[in-house]
Structure 1
Amino acid sequence: MITEIVTFDLPADMSRDDVLARYQATLPRWRANPELIRKTYLYDPDGKRGGGVYLWKTLAAAQAAHDAEWCRMAEDTYGSAPRFDYFEATLFVENESLQD
């Protein structure tokens, strides 16, 4: 499994409510992707950054979901190009089950 961390800078005038509304609009897309195991949305109000942590079945699945078209959409939506980091997911600890 692959953990992918995607981050992007947010416009200084984008409020938390604006960010969350944009995140909410993407929920159906990610729920429909059978290669995605889990996604956590990220928001850093002090650093004005957003992003997500994804757990994927494969690196190829991660890269296919975040292709050039998705990168253009993210830049149009959030105002900056996304950055990507990939890690092999080796061990898991899950203390509680989380709901949306």
Structure 2
Amino acid sequence: MIVEMVSFDPPAGATQDDILEDARGVVEHWRSNPDLIRKHFVRGEDGRHAGIYIWPSREAAQKAHDAAWIARFRERTGQTPTITYFDMFMLIDNEAEKVTEFPIP
């Protein structure tokens, strides 16, 4: 399992309502991706925004965030995202009352 963090500074002059509206505009795109397990839209205390994605593999993450996606993101926001990958080796899901371990590659 892979956790991918795609972070960026919001476009100059963008309000939180603008950011939320942009996020709403990509919901169907991400809901239609059969590889995506989960996505979180988050904002840090410093105002930086990120998408936190859960993928079955790094290949699935890289396929979703390929050069064409990055170009569209730049066009839409004027920003270049920073993409960071993490290997998920354990998940504690209190809602499902479940702990799952994953092999570390």
* TM-score of the alignment, normalized to the shorter chain, above 0.5: yes
Q: CA deviation at 1:79?
A: 2.0
- Give the residue type in structure 2 aligned to 1:78: T
1:63: which partner in 2?
62
Shift of 1:48: 3.2
Q: Which runs of 5+ in 1 are unaligned?
A: none
How high is the TM-score relative to the length of structure 1? 0.88
Percent identity, aligned pairs only? 39
1:77 CA drift (Å): 1.7
User: Is the 8 Å Cα contact of residues 37 and 54 (structure 1) preserved in structure 2?
Assistant: yes
After the TM superposition, which parts of structure 1 deviate over 6 Å for at least 4 consecutive aligned residues? none
Higher relative contact order (Cα pairs below 8 Å, separated by 6+ residues)? 1
Aligned to 1:76: 75
1:24 aligns with 2:24: yes
Give unpaired runs (5+ residues) of structure 2: 97-105
Secondary structure at 2:92's aligned position in 1? coil
- Cα distance between partner residues in 2 of 1:58 and 1:8: 22
Aligned residues: 96
Question: Which structure is larger by alpha-carbon Rg, 1 or 2?
Answer: 2
- CA RMSD, 1 decimal: 1.4
TM-score by length of 2: 0.84
